[in-house]
Amino acid sequence: MEEKRTVTFRDVAKSYFSQTRVDCRYTISSHHSWSSHDWIGLFKVGWLTVNDYYTFAWALAPEGYQTGTDANCSVAFHCMFIFEI
């Protein structure tokens, strides 16, 4: 049985430049179960473990979120380095 995707990232660029704001937009499906430990990370190319992230932000449920519905979310990163996805 195919697993349902619960997080879909949107508008992802191939690379980002230093000292620019990176807006990470994503959609959480109605199948997702929120956890206080959910986070969005930016990883270096070729990452091997979850500890290989450059930076992260907590992925909080949007205001007014109702369980069992889809939600469009975003996180803003202020980067001080050059990286590629």
Closest C-alpha among 79, 80, 82 to residue 24:
79
pLDDT tens for 14-24 read 877 777 888 89
Say how far apart CA 68 and CA 46 lie, in whole Å. Answer: 34
7-84: CATH topology is Immunoglobulin-like (2.60.40)
The domains of the chain are located at: 7-84
pTM greater than the 0.85 cutoff: no
pLDDT tens for 37-82 read 889 988 878 889 989 888 899 988 888 888 889 999 999 887 655 4
